[in-house]
Amino acid sequence: MATQSELTLADYTFPAARLRRRISTPARTPLVLIACGSFSPITFLHLRMFEMAADYARFNTQFEVVGAYLSCVGDAYKKTGLVKAEHRVNMCSLAVAQSSWISMDPWEALHAEYLETAKVLDHFNYEINEVLGGVETGEGRKKCHIALLAGADLIQTMSTPGVWAESDIDYILKNFGAFIVERTGTDIDEALSTLQPWKSNIWVIQQLVQNDISSTKVRLFLRRDMSIRYLVPEPVVQYIEEHELYDDDGAASTGSRSGKGKGAEGGQEAKPAGEAGSSGSGGG
Ligand SMILES: Nc1ncnc2c1ncn2[C@@H]1O[C@H](COP(=O)(O)OP(=O)(O)OP(=O)(O)O)[C@@H](O)[C@H]1O
Ligand SMILES: NC(=O)c1ccc[n+]([C@@H]2O[C@H](COP(=O)(O)O)[C@@H](O)[C@H]2O)c1
């Protein structure tokens, strides 16, 4: 596999190998889940979100999940603790290497400029429904429903003035919708209070096993030379060691100190592990 550093947009092809091209229950609507985020680094919770959403969709909706994608923000996002996109893409690829249905799409991360989430979702819609023509049902082809998969802290930022354009919120929630995983520290009712006009397109998933892993905590552990084993997939642990990522807040990073409303997290400011700073506006 070409590493992201060798890849450019010019030789990019959409990763469709794990997308199921035929639905098993024709009456259902095919669903593709898109998790957008920093993934610096990817954790087991990020992977677990897909499994929770797939179970939720199977038992509570008329959707049938046919695929799922991780999409990392590019370097222009400039959030605290963001290592280069090249590394984040490689770590995500390693994390999903054994998955039969979750893929890593480097398209967003390959852009030098920041891409709003609406544009990223449009990209998936274009590749899956326009280029590939959706999926076969046995009774003809159906377009896939593309949905954002996110934690409650991300949806809460939609109520934070200045973070999202109103038009983008409307566009995303009207055309795609969102599967939202509850997150410790975020009041889901409060997070959804301003999003009532789109509530029929927002699906809230309870975490039946509370999992409060965050990339912030993983980075904090690494700076303190503590183990991150079993918080992130083993190949990701090895990749971080090999490339000496997150040893200090500046190494191999995009050079930012803070961004997108996230606080600084340099070693001196870091709280003890048990109180590790939130990973989102109100998130765990
Ligand atoms: N413990 C968690 N519970 C629910 N959702 C989560 C959790 N950790 C991450 N997410 C969600 O995963 C997506 C990607 O998140 P992101 O890459 O920002 O991870 P993070 O752990 O929140 O990172 P950081 O700590 O750097 O802010 C977001 O939608 C976020 O809400
Ligand atoms: N205007 C927008 O499209 C907008 C605003 C804020 C966050 N986001 C996205 O939400 C995700 C947030 O990730 P983090 O939780 O890692 O900051 C990123 O994928 C980011 O691009 C998009």
What are the residue ranges spanned by the domains of the chain?
27-277
Question: pLDDT tens digit string along 62-73?
Answer: 999 999 999 999
Nearest to 63 by CA among 34, 27, 99: 27
| pLDDT band per the 50, 70, 90 thresholds, residue 251 | very low
Ligand 1 centroid to 278 CA: how many Å? 10
**Most informative mutation of 154, 187, 228, 232 for ligand 1 (most atoms within 8 A of CB):** 154
CA pair distance 47, 95, nearest whole angstrom: 8
Identify the bridge partners of residue 232 per DSSP, sorted by sequence position: 229
Give residue 6's pLDDT.
74
Average pLDDT (64-88) is 97
Give residue 5's pLDDT.
60
Task: Write the CA distances from 220 to 79, 88, 211, 266, 276, integer angstroms.
Answer: 15, 17, 17, 9, 7
CA pair distance 153, 90, nearest whole angstrom: 25
| pLDDT band per the 50, 70, 90 thresholds, residue 4 | low
Give residue 229's pLDDT.
98
Higher pLDDT, residue 47 or 139? 47
Question: pLDDT tens digit string along 191-210?
Answer: 999 999 999 999 999 999 99
CA pair distance 145, 154, nearest whole angstrom: 20
For residue 42, is pLDDT > 50? yes
Question: What is the number of the ligand closest to the CA of 43?
Answer: 1
Give residue 267's pLDDT.
36
Higher pLDDT, residue 259 or 146? 146
| pLDDT band per the 50, 70, 90 thresholds, residue 260 | very low
Average pLDDT (116-141) is 97
* 27-277 carries CATH number 3.40.50.620: yes
**Global confidence as pTM:** 0.90
In this predicted complex, what is the ipTM?
Answer: 0.97
Give residue 254's pLDDT.
55
* Ligand 1 atom showing the smallest separation from residue 212 Cα: 1
The fraction of the chain above a pLDDT of 90, given in percent, is 82
Question: What is the number of the ligand closest to the CA of 121?
Answer: 2
Pick the residue whose CA is nearest to atom 11 on ligand 2.
37
